[in-house]
Each structure stands twice: as C-alpha cells, then as structure tokens.
Structure 1
Amino acid sequence: MNYYDLILGLIPLALLGLTAILTTVGVGLTTAVPLAGTVSVGMIGHAMFVRTPTETPAAPAAQQ
C-alpha cells in the first residue's frame, strides 16, 4: 500500500466520518458536509500538487 492508496481510502472516510462526528457534536448538517468536504478536497490537493505522482524511469537494459 502506498501513499495514493491511503489517500483514496481516506477521502470517503474523512467525508463521511467527519460529517458524522460534526453532526453528533451539534453542528448542523448543512455546515458539517462542506467542512468535511473541505478536508477531503485538501487531501486530494495535497496528493496532486504537494506529493505529485511521478513516473519512475524505466530501468536501463543490462549491457552484456
């Protein structure tokens, strides 16, 4: 499992989990969803722009 697999798993967890936690604490649903969505978008932005996915160069063929 790498960083991007972790992010893909955390996006729905953050969206649903934070929404549930915030509504349990007493924040209205119409406020909790955008707040949790902001966290999810922040994780996506971090994965796309801070830790950019890069292709690893192909290994050179062994010379004989």
Structure 2
Amino acid sequence: MTGYYDYVLGLVPVTLVGITAVLAAVGVGYLTAVSVGAAAAALVVGHAMFVNGPVAPEESGSVRSASDHGPVNAD
C-alpha cells in the first residue's frame, strides 16, 4: 500500500531532476537550474517533515493524561 511518505520519496528526485531539466531546456544557466530544483526538492522534504510530519501511533488502551504524571522537578 502506497502512503504519503512513499510519494514524497518518489517526488524528491523527480522534482530535482524535472525542474532542473525544464529550466536548463529553456535556457536558464545550469547552476541556477540545479539550485532552483534543489530548493523545490527541499520544500517537498520540509513539508513532509514539518507540515505533515510523521507521528507515532498511539497504543490503544494506554491513554495517559497530564494528571497521570508526577510533579516536574525543575532543578
């Protein structure tokens, strides 16, 4: 079953190579094209990490509230 992070892993190289190739084909300098492609790939990774970040699945039956913990020792 293909999930969100599988698509992200596939989209990173496609974004990098695709944007670089398109920009290079229209006459943008190679260094600029690679930089823009890498920035776009970094945005995809950033979205996967910070906007739609992975979370650990909660275990059923072990719901804990803040009152279950003892006092915090701040020393």
Q: What's 1:11 paired with?
A: 12
Q: What's 2:44 paired with?
A: 43
Q: What's 2:32 paired with?
A: 31
Q: Can you give the 5+ residue segments of structure 1 that lack an aligned partner in the other structure?
A: none
Q: Which amino acid aligns with 1:39?
A: A
Find the structure with the greater CA-based Rg. Answer: 2
Q: CA RMSD in A?
A: 0.9
Provide the rounded CA distance (Å) in 2 between the counterparts of 1:11 and 1:47.
11
Q: Which amino acid aligns with 1:5?
A: D
Q: Can you give the 5+ residue segments of structure 2 that lack an aligned partner in the other structure?
A: 62-75
Q: TM-score, normalised by structure 2?
A: 0.76
Extract structure 1 runs of 4+ deviating beyond 2 A. Answer: none
C-alpha deviation, 1:58, in angstroms: 2.4
Q: Which has the higher relative contact order, 1 or 2, with Cα contacts under 8 A spaced 6 or more apart?
A: 1
Q: TM-score, normalised by structure 1?
A: 0.88
Provide the rounded CA distance (Å) in 2 between the counterparts of 1:58 and 1:26.
54
Aligned residues: 60
